Amino acid sequence: MKNKKIILLFVILLIIIFIVGFFAIKFVKEKKENEEMDEYIPQEEISDEQFRETIVSLYFPDSESNSIKPEARIVNVKQLIVSPYNTIIELLIEGPKNNKLRKIIPENTQLLKSSLENECLTLDFSKELLDYNKNNNNEKEILINCIVNAVTELNEVNKVKILINGETNDEFKDEYIRK
């Protein structure tokens, strides 16, 4: 009889432990779900102008080390939708905002045309692109890498072909990929 009482007490104790454990787990899960569902409320409302902006990465050489560094730039989304390649190249032509970076595309260079075909972006520049600093052995490579890195930030672009005044030029005859 004494053994039956001990077993009965033990079973009742187990049932109580399971019930308490079940409700404790349920409480923790509900609390976690409520925390996840809390809505983020910004400190200030986002204006229509801010809503229409995005960040693009441009690449320029560092003035001291000559290594290529990214520079983030805020751009109107409408510009990127209408002409993404032209917008990015125009920003590169404009040059960096950061004083530690230097402009790589020569003065008065213009982008005449851009077109995408089979993940290869063809960029047609004016002849002024050929006025890069030829005294620096790496300048051409840096110029190409800055252009290629900037436009390949766009998912649809994997290769870049550079034309001068609508024609292939001996200095830029290859198709370039991101390095």
Domain boundaries, the chain: 48-177
When the pLDDT of each residue in the chain is averaged and rounded to a whole number, the result is: 86
Q: How many CA atoms lie within 13 A of 21 on its CB side?
A: 6
Q: What's the pTM? A: 0.70
Contact 71, 95 (CB under 8 A): no
User: In this predicted model, which residue has the larger pLDDT, 121 or 134?
Assistant: 121
Residue 87 has pLDDT above 70, yes or no: yes
CA 160 from centre of chain = 18
Distance from C-alpha of 68 to C-alpha of 95, rounded to nearest angstrom: 13
Which amino acid is residue 127, in one-letter code? Answer: K
pLDDT at 46: 56
pLDDT digits (tens, 9 = 90+) for 37-59: 555 565 666 566 556 888 899 99
Concatenated DSSP letters of 152-164: TTSTT--EEEEEE
What confidence category does residue 36 fall into, taking pLDDT thresholds of 50, 70 and 90?
low
Q: Which of 134, 154, 156 is nearest to 143 (CA)?
A: 134
pLDDT at 43: 62
